[in-house]
A and B are shown apart, each in its own frame.
Chain A
């Protein structure tokens, strides 16, 4: 669900403005660190509200003074700009908060186990995260499809000139949408930072997975992002729990017994378990999807 919240913001930015935002995971990280800092001063819930607001404002400024300038040089320049931005944000966070993890905790009122499934306690904070994400998703959908503002946003995507003629400030719409997308990422960061560790390599860990989700789900499709994030989460969780390997599967299927010499490349391939390659699977999916179905599962547009 966290993946989805992130992917929604990225999809919004990408399908809206055609900018593949490399720095999206960095805004997620920024949200987590801002959330930590504000929660030190004002408590968790104000932080959950203020951190995305600040991160969104920074995002809007970045669009206004950065992206809009490089826009005229084309998509590659925009991609490179967000790539550089991701680098700078990571360094700035290291400069202020250091490389080690910070002590960002979940609030005490939510720090209990909600219910027990199969002997494991399910923490209440996770339930809270889930409900919060779903509410945001519903709100976003309603805003985009049912309100006047959503109408203008969608129209600005397809017919920017026409919308401009009607008297709306299209560049400002773009700026606000970029700010909204980064704020969504920051909400995810402020939530998940409290749940897991908050440290300066968060973005680097999450960033590539996000692209997998957006590309596999299909560009410009919120539903696709939703399905892809669930799919990838399931595949990874299933693979992590499995100890199947070629050395087990092949004899079971064919009855052939085979034992390569122990310290060799063949032996590595032969005995590696599914759990060990679980982190690789999303990228494998990315490559395969891009080769065989470049529009993604639900996408309508080409990459």
Chain B
């Protein structure tokens, strides 16, 4: 660790007073948004969704510490999330709720964090010896090992039912017992804020920078005199800590820890969230976590096979936008230069070209989803008769046996695709014009 504790880079232009205020302002706005969200979206379902979002944000950021920052593709990050959830649940059930130790619920995620850190150190000590595909394979093997042992070690993992507990039995904090969901929301929001701030701070430390160097070129790091294996190990353990906090929050949220917390599906979900959001940027996983959680709630209202749409979205992002959502947004940052008036005018023109391309893209997406829903209906629900509601819209009943509908879906898909291709030069021209304009206004 001593060689990591070198002084940071000399104060750059970013550390001037206005820049500092700006940074501080962003965090204050973030805290304010977290605090006021329940007033805007006050429905019970919305608050439940926001709780899940907060947990997934912490988990996805911790995952990104591995994938985005240090370049380690893990297929088993849910192991630390799940184990911490079980440690939390067991701790509350057997030792804390009895009243002999009076800890308020709000400090419990620290227990989960240290559990995650502990297992991160244990498993990381050998799995981080190598990077790349070998690491991915070891993480996959470890995940399978731990999740299948949960069915063998019944007294700790509680077998099929999991370990449940009553969160209100802990010592109250200022009279709050954390029974109602809204109080749990604030608990999660508090930890979400703390973890996001800590993880952002981590990216600015010399160790965080070293992680990026290991991602880019481990051999070079070794030549410079650092041990890439040790850097990977440290990043892995710290990521384990934050995954543990997230797992602990998840257990507190639904008052139970289950074997599914550690499963491959959970590891896959966090990978999806981080990657769709964009692993190259700090805000990426936050965006991804919010989007994935929102989609999984909203899409399931419209269609039974919403997970298919998820998978298609993921593949589309890998194929066409490897930077994720954040990458797409950040592409526009260089255009946001020069005097205010020209900035907005420039963006307006670019958005106009996007709108032109959006119409055929929408036609294409509607055609594709119509086709998917038709196939699903004919293959799975032929017993219910030919009539179906497209996307469960009550006013939109279609006859799935009519050839016209099928032909329409295919025409919309294919026609939309070619029309979309034709609008591409328009978008490219608008983009080039905007870039040239931005260049001119600066120089």
Contact = CB atoms under 8 A, between A and B. Distances in A.
A95 B129 CA distance: 41
Contacts of A263: 155
A276 interface: yes
**A-B pairs, 10 with minimum CB distance:** A91-B308, A88-B311, A286-B141, A303-B134, A87-B311, A283-B144, A84-B315, A84-B314, A283-B141, A283-B145
Contacts of A38: none
A155 interface: no
A137 interface: no
Interface in A16-55: 20
Interface of A: 20, 66, 69-70, 73, 75-77, 79-81, 83-85, 87-88, 91-92, 94-98, 204, 208, 211-212, 215, 263-265, 267-269, 272, 276-277, 279-280, 283-284, 286-287, 290-291, 294, 302-303
Nearest to A66: B319
A289 to B, nearest CB: 9
B122 interface: no
Interface of B: 71, 73, 75, 126-127, 129-130, 132-134, 136-138, 140-142, 144-145, 148-149, 152-156, 264, 268, 271, 275, 305, 307-308, 310-312, 314-315, 318-319, 322, 372, 375-376, 379-380
A279 B376 CA distance: 35
A279 B145 CA distance: 9
A26 to B, nearest CB: 11
Contacts of A284: 141, 145
B308 A95 contact: yes
Contacts of A76: 71, 73, 132
Contacts of B145: 280, 283-284, 287
Secondary structure class of chain B's binding surface, majority of residues: helix
B296 to A, nearest CB: 13
Contacts of B73: 76, 79-80
Contacts of A91: 305, 307-308, 311
Nearest to A292: B126
A66 B137 contact: no
A96 B382 CA distance: 12
B272 to A, nearest CB: 8
A92 B264 CA distance: 19
Contacts of A66: 315, 319
Contact of B132 (A75, A98, A208, A286): A75
Q: Which of A75, A81, A84 lies at the interface centre, i.e. has the most chain B CB atoms within 10 A of its CB?
A: A84
Secondary structure class of chain A's binding surface, majority of residues: helix
A264 B308 CA distance: 42
Contacts of B136: 20, 79
Given A95-B375, A290-B130, 6 more contacts: A79-B136, A87-B311, A91-B305, A94-B305, A263-B155, A284-B141
Contacts of B305: 91, 94-95
B137 A215 contact: yes
Given A84-B311, A268-B153, A294 B141 contact: no
A200 to B, nearest CB: 12
Contacts of A83: 75, 268, 271
Contact of B152 (A70, A87, A92, A277): A277
B16 to A, nearest CB: 37
A91 B127 CA distance: 31
Given A87-B268, A291-B126, A208 B380 contact: no
Nearest to A280: B148
Contacts of B142: 283, 287
A88 B312 contact: yes
A102 B371 CA distance: 23
Contact of B130 (A87, A98, A265, A294): A294
A102 to B, nearest CB: 11
Contacts of A70: 318-319, 322
Given A80-B73, A272-B152, A95 B134 contact: no
